[in-house]
Amino acid sequence: MEKELTVLAVIEKENMYSTNDFGTSNIILSDTLFKELYPDYEQRISNIEIWTEKEITKEQHQQLNTLMGKEHSTQLNLDSRYDTRE
């Protein structure tokens, strides 16, 4: 499959502890486009990050935990500032 894309943004991050000059960068694609480009997408996803503009509520945190529990995967991990708040 050949597809032409216009990249609107590249997110770049430098590792301050890195011993080389390479950082990391991400190209953001919609989930539907990613699935179209990679029919075997389930084998290609290694990390899903959810970033929010506002703090999540207790209910939203529980919803994320419930979704992860349904996957029955020991590789899933939820790190949240919500857990560290008092």
Name the strand (E) or helix (H) holding 86: none
pLDDT at position 19, please? 60
> In the chain, what are the domain boundaries?
10-84
Indicate whether 61 pLDDT > 70.
yes
Read off the pLDDT of residues 11-60 as tens digits, 9 standing for 90 and up.
Answer: 566 666 666 555 566 677 778 888 888 888 888 777 777 777 788 888 88
* DSSP helix/strand/coil, 10: strand
pLDDT at 64 over 80: yes
| Token reading at 6 | 């216009």
User: Closest by alpha carbon to 82, among 38, 52, 48, 37?
Assistant: 52
Instruction: Please give the model's pTM, rounded to 2 decimal places.
Output: 0.41
Three-class secondary structure of residue 69 per DSSP: helix
* Position with higher pLDDT, 3 vs 41: 41
CA distance 35 to 46: 14
